[in-house]
Structure 1
Amino acid sequence: MSESHDSSDEFTPQQYDDASAAYEEYQTCLSYIGEHGAIERDDIVVDIGTGTGNLALELAPKCELILGRDIDDEWLQYAQEKAAEQGVENISFDHGSFREPNVDEPVDVVVTSYAFHAVYHEGGEEELRAAIEGISSLNPRYLVVADRMIFGPRESHDGYDKLPTMGTVSNLLVDAGFRLVDVEPISASDGVLVATRTSR
């Protein structure tokens, strides 16, 4: 399963794009990152779990270079074709994962959208910890996470037992040397976290 999209066996890239276009919370999260994601014009940004490239393409006009990383060939090719069709030139897609991002350049910001919950679903808290440690190895100034997670007590969200809580994600970020600077709940189970490194 790709880190960028759960249920990848059920969706083609085009079907995923069609579904995400109708998913209001997803679109709101991406827009929020574009407006409040601490990205500067001369930044190099890495989008891990890029999937169909939606977030990477959203952020490309706001930074110098964006590197999309995923583990699925079909989805990477689809994202590359979308970028070419839109005439976006400051973007590059290649293989990479949370544990092995495959990035040699110095990185300013790492973003990830709707991938953490799939990691948590597959391997629980320890797998999510390993993913965050992989991001930490890139030593970014900021990490921005848009994803499904529980905001509030877990017991109030029946059916979401396979999602991490915001508190779990926050604690793992702190353990990896990050400090939360922005928390934006979009719904009871969708939101954006912005974290900065405590030291670089």
Structure 2
Amino acid sequence: MSESGERSHGYTPRDYDEDSAADEAYQTCVSYAVEHTPIRREDTVVDVGTGTGIVAFELAPNCERVLGRDVNDEWLRYARQKATERGVENVSFGHGSFREPNVDEAVDVVVASYALYMAYDEGGEEELRAAIEGISSLNPRHLVVADKMFFGPAEPRGDYERLPQMGTVANLLADAGFTLTDVEIVSGSVGVLVASRTTG
């Protein structure tokens, strides 16, 4: 993705889709997340920070339904348009955030891709904690985070974003009642965490 473009005026959902398609790390991250998200045919999956619905559409063939949630109405309209054009009927898109996902039904799996890091960028560890607590309040069996985070020493990122350490994300998931069951490192700052609800 073009992070500098993402923050410039006039960056459209279509631009995001084009950048995503050309971003090898993003494509690898999404592919791994879709392949390793532990979902069943009868499951309801929530894709928080759905953006243009890229991950939601990839997950749709594997489950009963996907609920995409985002705070950007323009991008939600674009995602709905894509669903209509593709004839995908088991995906719906609505307004919702990490803190307030806006989901009133039982949820089996929550996926957050390339969005959760923004909570850390905006408010550090406390905002990231609030975001994880918000989505964990949906009480899913599994939570999958496919995102930007440091898997080694922090790298200079300029002034445009701050990323959490993978250990910080893992600890906050544990505090919210989840145990890591799988980790896939795509690069030093991109990867996938699969976590399951701690039982007993």
Q: Which TM class, normalised by the smaller chain length?
A: over 0.9
The offset of 1:10, in angstroms, is: 5.3
Aligned match of 1:191: 191
Change (3 A) 1:9 1:41: farther
The offset of 1:83, in angstroms, is: 1.0
CA distance in 2, matches of 1:183, 1:50: 21
1:85-130 Cα distance to aligned partner (Å, 9 max, x none): 1111001100111111110110000001100111111111100000
Aligned match of 2:136: 136
Q: Match of 1:158, as an amino acid?
A: P
The offset of 1:40, in angstroms, is: 1.2
The offset of 1:153, in angstroms, is: 2.1
Aligned-residue identity in percent: 67
Aligned match of 1:158: 156
The offset of 1:84, in angstroms, is: 1.0
Aligned residues: 193
Aligned match of 2:47: 47
Structure 2 unaligned residues grouped into runs of 5+: 1-5
Q: Match of 2:116, as an amino acid?
A: F
Aligned match of 1:120: 120
Larger mean CA deviation between 9-18 and 86-95 belongs to 9-18
CA distance in 1, matches of 2:141, 2:71: 24
Aligned match of 1:3: none
Indicate the SS of the match to 2:98.
coil
Aligned match of 1:182: 182
Indicate the SS of the match to 2:67.
strand
The offset of 1:8, in angstroms, is: 7.2
The offset of 1:69, in angstroms, is: 0.4
CA distance in 2, matches of 1:10, 1:121: 22
Structure 1 unaligned residues grouped into runs of 5+: 1-5
**Structural mapping, 1:1-200, within 5 Å:** 7=7, 9=9, 11-154=11-154, 157-159=155-157, 162-199=162-199
CA distance in 2, matches of 1:138, 1:47: 12
CA distance in 2, matches of 1:13, 1:37: 25
CA distance in 1, matches of 2:131, 2:167: 16
The offset of 1:152, in angstroms, is: 1.1
